[in-house]
Structure 1
């Protein structure tokens, strides 16, 4: 692995780190994806060729390229190649519909789109809505008549391109669901992927150390910042990282059993589903030292079951795409059954600060609920081409999260609600306005309001309250069929409630909170 002094540099970038690993440990495995193992030498060599191929296409720093497909070593070659060149990579959620994919491509201005075989039809369908200038590149290894990804870069030099790229330049553009009906591109600098590692040696916390023989399994997909960041963190540390093309409980369990996995990074529901796989037994997790989880709250009963059955240390992290790096951690020492702090999101990480503000922007004392705002070591650069939204969210370096919560007297953060009405379904963010805009496009629907209701398996499910056009009718089944090709499955309402009129305040704004509260009465907090 790289020396401590080398890794402590505040200017070294991802390509240099990979190059150092390749030089000193060329045959060490960097990534395992399915049956394919990629060494650090191969990752370095291939990412250099990809970078040179991108530049040969005429792309320059600041241009956007997209990736639509499942996680693979090829995807992370693109990540490192983008870091080589200053080109910004836009990972696209492959669960999105054609219309949603088209929005991301159009909004980002992607000039090149890499797509795997499973999503090629969706990409082709999205192209007419975007631009005839957008070029598709297939990610399959073989391809036909030289059309494959490997053939595309095969003739390029395997040495780093000559480019002046700063670690503080944009590297990623991750799309989040939009509070106003359209998803926003969150621009993230390469520095954000180093932020946690940069201050790790200053923290003197044993649970932050990464053993040289660690084998990490990351089951959060790379189109989420948490999944991508954990994989890149493994590459920075020089360990083996197992990446699933697609999360399934069975594939996850198989990887843990057969790959000697020592650390797992997941959304809570993913952990719970692994534990109910047929034939699962405690011996399967004998090599695990750590399970890190985040992305959505976790019921205490579920957490207790996971701690018991996985039989290792647990670590919770809290952050969001806009913070680009975890802001708080609930350490292993706080993970014991019955500890009231299991309901918290933990303490700020070194280099991060948290405040809870009232409606006037004034800090609140411990125990009082307000909006959680965070100052992290490397927050987002901006919302792409949305200066007003950027100014409203990123104020003097503080990210206004839209989460409601409070701090206790010891500085632990507790999340109690979501100010912006966001719904979290199995770790996926769903914003009501985006769903409502599609629902009301049905000719029989006059207006709609979408809220989240608690669900013990998925955390929350989407409920839609529907007011119909007078004289029109539609059934829940018909609405479900109507929405099938217009919204990703996790965004589609699971329940429809028909009412005459939606509740509104004096200014005409729909009172989602009034509709939502009926599902949450009697609960200590309004997230599940």
Structure 2
């Protein structure tokens, strides 16, 4: 892989991260972030991507042009702007352009199929779609057709000319910390993804919480070069990028994660911090010829998105030889609400099984099925109250009211909080499956399977998987007149579901187990794979 060194910056930070922690408490919105760093460190690289460099000065100017172009397209405050493409410097130009125009960015998972993309565009009411060339065929096959305006990033007279003709001056902005800035889609229990609306405060609250107590659980230092392993359509990737922008350090953006490229970037660019999911750690550790020298410049690795095994964590600690911080949260909590700090990463310690502790200003509790708070050590549903929490599920007030109750986010995870305030996750209350950090809900796959003429009924559960954490296991009751084969079902689903949602295994059964009232005993099917394990998440 071709790795271009970080450019020199006149008067900028040193090549290696110093001990100077960076916190700019006066920055409360992404609009302020872009303008402040353009003024104070215009030549410092903001984004490195495939040998290209976007400085903070350029990021500010280009996002100004995009903001003017959005306004010229007739979009007012609160309008939705979707991006369908892989990671690049343009994605962040668009993010800040939306912030400055007070529109809401809807990043679309580029692995989704045309019907899945169509639902997101229709549900969000997207008026403007910014589209990479690789995904033009997807948009050409949208069941409901494309949005009103589509701008192609690689086309002649496309994105470059669309923004180039606009002024690079600031737009007047009325954005506040409570102004919506992003809408991310998470799979739904009914089979249709829900739009989680996040305000600017979601990207500043945890930073301020850490600074308020001078905690270095996760910190940003002068000279940091931060790798983003998690894609920007995922709240973890978007949150990590904005934290580094708010600090004014350099972000290294990967078009899509590949273990070999990640190792080469860490070694070649002298990367100091990284944010990944456990599956990415496993893939990097499996790279041929890997040695601790490859990670010599890393000072901190932040990981989350799915539980991690103690064996993988201990191997990562030994090989990476840097500080590790685990984060736990949901899109609905604005990403991280709980952290296992580096000081608690002690091989053999019981805390290695914990999700961590809540940040200052974030509260945690565990409740029973009647909503009553449980004492320390008792297992129930974990609930979190955080200033970074979502605004709402877009257009779904009833669903919002179910998840967000009196400022508490009901996570759907079963666990307990010990006497010292550490959160332990033990199971799931909702039926979500975590595949390499991606949320997958059974209902969506079951609906797709049952639309096949050869399927009478389908039940989806999560099973342990050594590489991806969990995988999708399909129980299928075949139609007697035309029973399908696993290959036929796979071919059928490929056109309807993203690859990470596809079942890894199919098991044909005569009937679905149910209780006397007819409810599917999903837990009975799922427990076959998890019996004998203390933690029923992987």
Q: How does the TM-score come out when normalised to structure 1?
A: 0.96
- Tell me the residue number matched to 2:16: none
Picking from 91, 97, 120, the partner of 1:104 is 120
- Tell me the residue number matched to 2:466: 456
Map 1:271-286 onto structure 2 (within 5 A).
271-286=281-296
- Tell me the residue number matched to 1:54: 70
Q: Give yes or no for contact 1:300–1:343 (8 Å, CA) kept in 2.
A: yes
Q: What is the distance in 2 between the residues matched to 1:160 and 1:281?
A: 47
The question of 1:7 aligning with 2:24 is answered yes
Map 1:248-327 onto structure 2 (within 5 A).
248-327=258-337
- CA shift, 1:6, in A, is 8.7
Alignment coverage as a number of residue pairs: 521
- CA shift, 1:318, in A, is 0.3
Q: Give yes or no for contact 1:196–1:325 (8 Å, CA) kept in 2.
A: no
Q: 1:456/1:346 Cα in 2 relative to 1: closer, same or farther (>3 Å)?
A: same
Q: Give yes or no for contact 2:106–2:183 (8 Å, CA) kept in 1.
A: yes
Q: What is the distance in 2 between the residues matched to 1:24 and 1:132?
A: 41
- CA shift, 1:131, in A, is 4.5
Q: What is the distance in 2 between the residues matched to 1:179 and 1:132?
A: 26
Map 1:456-495 onto structure 2 (within 5 A).
456-495=466-505
- Tell me the residue number matched to 1:125: 141
Q: What is the distance in 2 between the residues matched to 1:285 and 1:398?
A: 39
Secondary structure of the structure 2 residue equivalent to 1:365: coil
The question of 1:234 aligning with 2:244 is answered yes
The question of 1:349 aligning with 2:359 is answered yes
- CA shift, 1:476, in A, is 0.9
- CA shift, 1:133, in A, is 5.0
Secondary structure of the structure 2 residue equivalent to 1:197: helix
- Tell me the residue number matched to 1:79: 95
- Tell me the residue number matched to 1:64: 80
Q: What is the distance in 2 between the residues matched to 1:377 and 1:31?
A: 28
Unaligned 5+ runs, structure 2: 1-11, 14-19
Q: Give yes or no for contact 2:379–2:415 (8 Å, CA) kept in 1.
A: yes
Secondary structure of the structure 1 residue equivalent to 2:330: coil
- Deviation digits for residues 322-365 of structure 1 (CA, Å, limit 9, x no counterpart): 00131111011111110111110000011100000001100101
- CA shift, 1:136, in A, is 1.2
Q: What is the distance in 1 between the residues matched to 2:216 and 2:54?
A: 29
Q: 1:238/1:423 Cα in 2 relative to 1: closer, same or farther (>3 Å)?
A: same
Q: CA RMSD in A?
A: 1.6
- Tell me the residue number matched to 1:151: 161
Deviates further, 267-276 or 196-205: 196-205
Picking from 126, 129, 139, the partner of 2:153 is 139
Q: What is the distance in 2 between the residues matched to 1:24 and 1:18?
A: 10
Q: 1:4/1:456 Cα in 2 relative to 1: closer, same or farther (>3 Å)?
A: closer
Picking from 246, 250, 274, the partner of 2:256 is 246
Q: Give yes or no for contact 1:188–1:381 (8 Å, CA) kept in 2.
A: yes
The question of 1:336 aligning with 2:346 is answered yes
Q: What is the distance in 1 between the residues matched to 2:190 and 2:335?
A: 25
Secondary structure of the structure 2 residue equivalent to 1:308: helix
- Deviation digits for residues 267-311 of structure 1 (CA, Å, limit 9, x no counterpart): 001011011112211111111100110000001111111111101
Map 1:296-445 onto structure 2 (within 5 A).
296-445=306-455
Secondary structure of the structure 1 residue equivalent to 2:141: helix
Unaligned 5+ runs, structure 1: none
Q: What is the distance in 2 between the residues matched to 1:471 and 1:123?
A: 36
- CA shift, 1:17, in A, is 1.8
Secondary structure of the structure 2 residue equivalent to 1:46: helix
The question of 1:497 aligning with 2:507 is answered yes
Q: What is the distance in 1 between the residues matched to 2:512 and 2:109?
A: 32
- CA shift, 1:132, in A, is 5.7
Q: What is the distance in 1 between the residues matched to 2:111 and 2:528?
A: 30
Q: What is the distance in 2 between the residues matched to 1:407 and 1:397?
A: 19
- Deviation digits for residues 193-221 of structure 1 (CA, Å, limit 9, x no counterpart): 11112233212223433210111101000
- Tell me the residue number matched to 2:47: 31
Post-superposition, which runs of at least 4 consecutive aligned residues in structure 1 deviate over 4 A?
A: 1-6
- Tell me the residue number matched to 2:6: none
Secondary structure of the structure 1 residue equivalent to 2:81: strand
Q: Give yes or no for contact 1:440–1:447 (8 Å, CA) kept in 2.
A: yes
Q: What is the distance in 2 between the residues matched to 1:299 and 1:383?
A: 32
- Tell me the residue number matched to 2:17: none
Secondary structure of the structure 1 residue equivalent to 2:472: strand
